Structures are given as structure tokens and as C-alpha cells.
Structure 1
Amino acid sequence: MAALWRGCGRLLARRPGAAQALTAGALMGAGDVIAQQLVEQRGLRGHHCPRTLKMMAIGFCFVGPVVGSWYRILDWLIPGNTKVVAVKKVILDQDYMDALMTNYCIWPPVQIANFYFVPLQHRLAVVQCVAIVWNCYLSWKANRM
């Protein structure tokens, strides 16, 4: 496990965009697998692989690059890591009204901790780990039959 963590750290240092895209894609895929297997209880034979691949593609192609870039922009706009800086970043991060209303109980506390305690190169991974539950919910909600 330690070797895996060191390898991820090296990849983040050398190619942060690629590492963040891979992380987001893998974790969004994990959220869909959890939705299908634990929430919907489809079983392995009923698992819809194209749906999982679609969620992974969204993470690889959109969430990783866009959110990773957004975090770099936030760090450029509001440098530092004090509590006040973290709150300012959270306020800017909560830019979408529907997301604010839906995620109000989860994301502000997560993002305050993320912007205050977590180094820039690890922020996307932290958010994506928390987002596994959210991605599971979104996948289930979007694919209810």
C-alpha cells in the first residue's frame, strides 16, 4: 500500500493533470459499481458495464481536468491556506445554485477541510473519495428504471 501511495505521489508530481483525471475516472466508476451492486442490487450478471464506463469517461474527460483546473485557479485567485482563505474558496466553489442547495450539508464542510488541510495536488482525490457516495446517488437517480 505504501508503494502504491508513493507511486501516486510521483505521478501527481510529474503529471498532475493525468493523475487527477485517472483518479476522478476510477472513483466515479467505483461510485457507479456501488450504486449498481449495493443500492440497486443488480448482481454481477445484471451489472450494466456501459453505464460504469460512461461514468468513468465523465471522470476522466470532464471532472478530473475541469475540477483539477478549477482548484488551481482558486489557489491562484486566493493564495494561502488559512481558515479565512478556505472559507473564501468554499464561497467561490459553491457557484451553482442547484449544487449548493443539493449538497449544502456535505460539500461546504468537506471543502473547508480540503482547502485548509489538504495540499493542492491531493485536493481532487479527497473530493473524489467523498464523492463516491454522491456519484453512487447520482448514478442511481439518473438511471432509475
Structure 2
Amino acid sequence: MNATISNATVATRRSISRVWQSYLTQLAARPLRTKMVTSGTMFFIGDAIAQFGIEGRRVSSDAVPQEGYGPVDDDIVLAYNPIRAVRQAVYGALVLAPLGHNWLVRLDKVKFANKWGTLGAKVGLDQLVWGPFIVTAFWTWTGMMEGKSTQQVADLVHFAFPGAYSKCVAVFGPTQIVNFLWVPLHHRLMVHQTVGLGWNIFLSYMTNKNNTLLAIAETKLAEAQVAEAAVEPIHDKAHDDERALAHAMVEDAAKVLAAVKEERQRLRHLDGGGATAVGTRM
């Protein structure tokens, strides 16, 4: 039994090693094309994580279709949007990968006598020049692909930019420090996208954890409401005290539920990859 598991592990490692070596070969021979394929694939995966894990979309006949992005009622289950996923993949392959590849090549030419001066200049240029540009490009692309008018696209960019850019700085500022210090140039775009994908996975986990807390809070509130309704309508001190206690429990349960729902909305606002924020720079 142990020998079988060991052989399977070795075979898996060899397969992964072959895939990685094939990727490195393609990256060396055709760097831009390889990055375009990789970027498109990772954007597609990132959007799937965002739609299913963060936004709670489902492939179901009962799910409600919704084009684009935006808040919806908590009780509505949205349908998975494959067109959006394809748009994300196309953006990653045809827009982000070529632009990101060329930007990182040019940024690598920034050199100062001092190592830390070079690092500071690269990170500063990346966050102050590339960051605002690519966030704007992402939301402009999104609006155009959704068929919005010029004014609607401008409004979308204006609305989305502050939150998306601030989150990109928070996540990719530290990422770029690591990138520029230790990661070879030809792997830096992939590091970007791996971080963005990891952010989506983290938020998906947090969202599912929040969903569990939400179900518990809803159950507690329902139990408290049943207990309050069960108090006999007799007006004496004992029943009045019991009624007051039951009502206080309902109020406490309602507050907990409201807090969990607020956290759910916060997580949805933070989502990355396929929807907003970090996905703009994956």
C-alpha cells in the first residue's frame, strides 16, 4: 500500500516537473505568447473563483442572470456568467499580458548606483504610473465589452477606481518589492497573477466561512423569535421579565445577523480576480 502511494507521488512529481520544464522552454523561446496563454488561463480561473466562491453564483435553472457587476439582494442566487469569464480571459491574454510584459521589461532598465534607490524607483513607478493606468484600462475594457456608452464607461471608471487602486497598492506594493529583489524578470508577470489568484482563493475561503456564520445567525434569530412568541400573554412580573429577556435575545440575535451580513458585503466589495480590485492587476 505504502509502495503504491510512494510510486504515485513520484509519478505526480515527475509529471509536474515535465509540465514546468515545458513551460520554461516555451517561456524562453516565445516569452510573450507564453505569457499571453498563461495570463488568459489565470484570469479565467480567477473569474471562476470570484463568481462561485466570492459572489456565490451557481450553475442552476433557479439562478438569476446578471450582466456585469454590482450588488444584489442577499436572497437572490445569481447565475454563473460564462461570457464574463471569457471576457476576463481575453483581457488577460490580449490586453494585460502584452502591456504587462513590455512594462516590466522597460521597468527593469531603471538602474541607480544604490540597490535600494533602484528598488524604490521601480516600486514607485509601478504603483504611481502603471497602477493607475492598468486599473483604468481594466474598467474601460469591462465597460466597453458590456456595451456601455462612453459616459457610462467614464462613470464606471470613476466609481471603481478609488477602491480598486487602493487595494492594488496594498496587495501589489509588497509583491513588487519581492518581485524586484528576488524574482527573475521573465517570471515577474506570473508572480503578479499568482498573488491575484491567491487573493481570490483567500476571499473565497473567508466568504464561505461567513456563509456558515450567516446560517448560524439566522437560525439563532429564528429560535429567539419562536421563544419570544411562546411567552404567555400574561401581565405579571414573572411573565414581563420573561418577555423582556426573550425580546432582548431577539435583539441580540438580530444585531449579530446584521453584523454578519455587513461582513458579507465587505467581502464582496473586496473581491478580486474576476470582479474588482486585485483582478485589475492580475
TM-score between the two structures when normalised by the length of structure 1: 0.85
Q: What displacement does 1:83 show?
A: 4.2
Contact 2:40/2:90 (CA < 8 Å) preserved in 1? Answer: yes
Matched, 1:10 2:75: no
Q: Which has the higher contact order (CA 8 A, sep 6+)?
A: 1
Question: Hey, what does 1:104 align to over in structure 2?
Answer: 169
Counterpart of 2:121?
88
* 1:45-124 equivalence runs, <5 A: 45=60, 46-78=79-111, 82-94=115-127, 95=129, 96-97=131-132, 98=162, 100-124=165-189
Matched-pair contact (CA < 8 Å) for 2:43–2:273:
no
In the alignment, structure 1 segments of 5+ residues that lack a partner are none
Local SS of the residue matching 1:43: coil
Contact in 2 for aligned 1:17/1:64 (Cα 8 Å): yes
Secondary structure of the structure 2 residue equivalent to 1:20: helix
Q: Secondary structure at the match of 1:139?
A: coil
Secondary structure of 1:137 counterpart = coil
Of the candidates 59, 69, 80, which is equivalent to residue 44 of structure 1? 59
Aligned-partner Cα distance in 2 for 1:64–1:108: 19
Tell me the equivalent position of 2:67: none
1:49 CA displacement: 1.1
Instruction: Identify unmatched segments of 5+ residues in structure 2.
Output: 1-15, 61-78, 133-161, 201-270, 278-282
Is the CA contact 1:78–1:85 (under 8 Å) kept in the aligned structure 2? yes
Verify the 8 A CA contact 1:12 1:19 in the aligned structure 2. yes
Question: Using the alignment, how far apart are the partners of 2:86 and 2:37 within structure 1?
Answer: 13
Taking structure 2 as the reference length, the TM-score comes to 0.46
- How many residues are paired up? 141
**Structure 1 position 34 matched with structure 2 position 169:** no
Name the counterpart of 1:129.
194
| Aligned position for 1:140 | 275
Partners of 2:185 and 2:125 in 1: CA distance: 16
| Residues 89-131 of structure 1: per-residue CA shift (max 9 Å, x gap) | 1111112455653322211110010111110110000001112
Query: Residue 170 of structure 2: SS of its match in structure 1?
Result: coil
Q: Contact 2:105 / 2:185 at 8 angstroms: preserved in 1?
A: yes
